[in-house]
Amino acid sequence: MDEILVPAKQKMERTITALKAEFGSIRAGRANPAVLDKIRVDYYGTPTPINQMAAVAVAEARILTIQPWDVSTVHAIEKAIQSSDVGINPQSDGRTIRLIFPQLTEDHRKAIAKDIKKLAEEAKVSVRGTRRDMADKLKKLQKSAELTEDDLKDEEKELQTLTDQFIKEIDAAACAKEKEILEI
């Protein structure tokens, strides 16, 4: 029954990958280039990620520097960052853009931790939805006599084990990110 379990595992892995990417873009009071991943700059009519237009580096613990390869794009990158939801005002000297990450307040940290829990719960719902869809497929196979009742129980048990494994992974990722955020 690999035709059911393999696609289920792949879907669940994509959910985890998306969740970790989302966690990476959450600002934690430290400079993290991943906060720029969702920002697109209009570069000759094409929305382009910043990391494809410039060298992005962590200069200090709370300072991110962006050095565009084409100096004429400095203003466009600045504008894209300002209009994004990053919440940091870029500072530019005409060649290099600096993003200075402020210390997070305790209230802001708690709000971010709440968002992390919400994202983790959404990922768990997605994983459980995948499990439900695949269990329905297994039941249809059993009804069409392609699968015996014993095989159905074994496959459902394996599907549940897979689901539990991914739920634990989601919890671990959420716990690690929450710890990072709440750390002063």
How do residues 55-84 score in pLDDT, each as one tens digit? 988 888 788 898 999 888 888 888 888 888
What pTM, to 2 d.p., does this model score?
0.72
Q: What is the CATH number of the domain that holds 94?
A: 3.30.1360.40
| Residue-range definition of the domain harbouring residue 143 | 2-24+105-182
**Listed residue (157, 132, 159, 163) closest to 16, CA to CA:** 163
Q: What is the CATH number of the domain that holds 6?
A: 1.10.132.20
Domain count, the chain: 2
Quick one: 127 and 153 in the same domain? yes
pLDDT in tens, 109-142: 888 889 999 999 999 999 999 999 999 988 888 8
Which of the four pLDDT bands, split at 50, 70 and 90, describes residue 149? confident
pLDDT at 161 over 90: yes
Which pLDDT score is estimated for 33? 82
Helix 149-182 to helix 106-143 angle, to the nearest 10 degrees? 170
